[in-house]
Amino acid sequence: MKNNCCNLYFLSTIACRLSECLDENELAILSANLTTLGYMIESLQAQKSVCKEK
């Protein structure tokens, strides 16, 4: 398994920078949208996996 420390550092840096230039409402909306995107990608991956098994 690949070491994800670089990814964590990168994501942490992005989060800090966004928090500096967006207000609380904008951050809440962005967070909700990114969470939704993550769930959608997870769902698509599961559907692809099921289709490959058939």
pLDDT in single tens digits along all 54 residues of the chain: 567 788 899 999 999 999 999 999 999 999 999 999 999 999 999 999 999 887
Distance CA 28, CA 11 (A): 17
Give CA–CA dist 28/52, Å, rounded.
36
State pTM to two decimals.
0.75
* Residue 46 zone, left/alpha/beta (φ > 0; ψ -120 to 50; rest): alpha
